[in-house]
Copies of this chain bind each other. A is one copy, B any other.
């Protein structure tokens, strides 16, 4: 099991990495890797429960957006021999920092640049991460996924900003709002965001809403 856990922090799409033990009897000592490890057959009911446990260990987040990413398996990916992994990807709000986790001394957020990170990754994790970034970016073109990168309550400007950060480009404000409201997956709460700017309506995900698929992708400039 390996989990690519994404959040947006400091206005950058970031992935959680863990440092491997620096002992010569472990493969890739000291390198960074996606959080993961073996299924615990006494504790994990199924693969999803295993992925949630790996995530909880590092972030204290218990209800992320979680999706199966794929399988990697070959005789070469681990120097110890033939191995396979079931990879997942997760989206969490920035509040789920590694520091909040129970076992997170070795974990750190790394900003995504291009299709990966600047540090060298263990195993085939560069390829798994690249696949996760591709999947995330392509889904953000036509789904409501970025809402899972936000805290429970957010303004429309904050939601738009999440789409823009993951897409890596600006979208046009009025077309964005039309699209979001017609997709009907968020609802206003009876509170405003107060601050230095004028108060802004707060929204939350509708309780019954799963991931919403938009009828079309964003055009390059966000026009419909």
Contact = CB atoms under 8 A, between A and B. Distances in A.
Contacts of A117: none
Interface residues of A, number: 19
Copies in the complex: 2
A199 interface: no
Contacts of A39: 73, 82, 84
Contacts of A103: none
Interface in A32-90: 39, 41, 44-47, 50, 68, 70-76, 81-82, 84, 86
A15 B133 CA distance: 33
B84 A72 contact: no
Contacts of A82: 39, 41
Contacts of A68: 70-71
A82 B47 CA distance: 10
B75 A47 contact: no
Given A41-B75, A71-B68, A75-B41, A47 B84 contact: yes
A71 B41 CA distance: 16
Contacts of A75: 41, 44-46
Given A39-B82, A41-B82, A73-B86, 14 more contacts: A41-B81, A44-B75, A45-B74, A46-B73, A46-B74, A46-B75, A47-B71, A47-B84, A68-B71, A70-B71, A71-B71, A71-B86, A84-B86, A86-B86
